[in-house]
Amino acid sequence: MGTELTAPVGEAGRRHIDLGLLRLCGIELAVPVDWVREVVPCPGTMGPCFGSHPALIGSIGVRGDVIPVVDVTVLLGFGERTGTGGTIVVLRKDDVLLGLRIDTVSGLYRIPVSAVRELIDSGGAARLVDRAFVREEHLVGIVDPDALFTMPGLPLVRCTVRHADHGALGRASPFVLVTVAGVQIAIDSHLVESTAPATSLRRCAVPAPGWARSVNYLGRDVRVFDQLATLGLDGATPEESQGPVILLRIAPGKLVGWHVESVRSVARIASDKFGPLPSGLAGRASLFGGTATDPGGGQNLVLDSAAVCADPAIVAMAALCREATEAGGRSIAMAKGKADATGAFLIFDTGERLLATPLDAIREVVPFRGLSSRVEDYSGLCGLSDHRGAPVSVYAVEAGVQPDDAKLLIIARDQEGQGARGFLAQRLATIINAPALPVPGGSPGARFIPATIDGTAHSIRIHTLG
pLDDT at 184: 92
pTM of the predicted protein model: 0.48
CA distance 446 to 339: 20
Q: Tell me the three-class secondary structure of 237-293, residue by residue.
A: CCCCCCCCEEEEEEECCEEEEEECCEEEEEEEECHHHEECCCHHHHCCCCCEEEEEE
CA distance 418 to 414: 7
Query: Is 123 buried (19+), middle (13-18) or exposed (0-12) by CB count in 10 A?
Result: exposed
Tens digits of per-residue pLDDT, 14-35?
677 877 778 788 788 888 877 8
pLDDT at 47: 85
Tens digits of per-residue pLDDT, 367-404?
888 888 787 655 578 888 887 777 888 888 887 778 88
CA distance 180 to 282: 19
CA distance 305 to 246: 14
The letter for the amino acid at 208 is A
The CA dihedral of 39, 40, 41, 43, to the nearest 10 degrees, is -140
Q: The CATH number of 339-461 is which of 3.40.50.80, 3.40.640.10, 2.40.50.180, 1.10.3720.10? A: 2.40.50.180
- What are the residue ranges of CATH 2.40.50.180 in the chain? 16-163, 339-461
C-alpha dist (Å) from residue 229 to 157, 209, 279: 52, 11, 18
pLDDT at 66: 84
Residues 6+ apart with CB under 8 A from 133: 30, 111, 115, 116, 117, 139, 140, 142
Q: Report the CATH number of the 16-163 domain.
A: 2.40.50.180
CB 395 within 8 A of CB 381: yes
Our CA angle for 275, 276, 280, nearest 5°, is: 135
Report the 10 Å Cβ neighbour count for 5: 14
Q: Which residue positions in the chain have pLDDT lower than 50?
A: 1-12, 161-170, 324-340
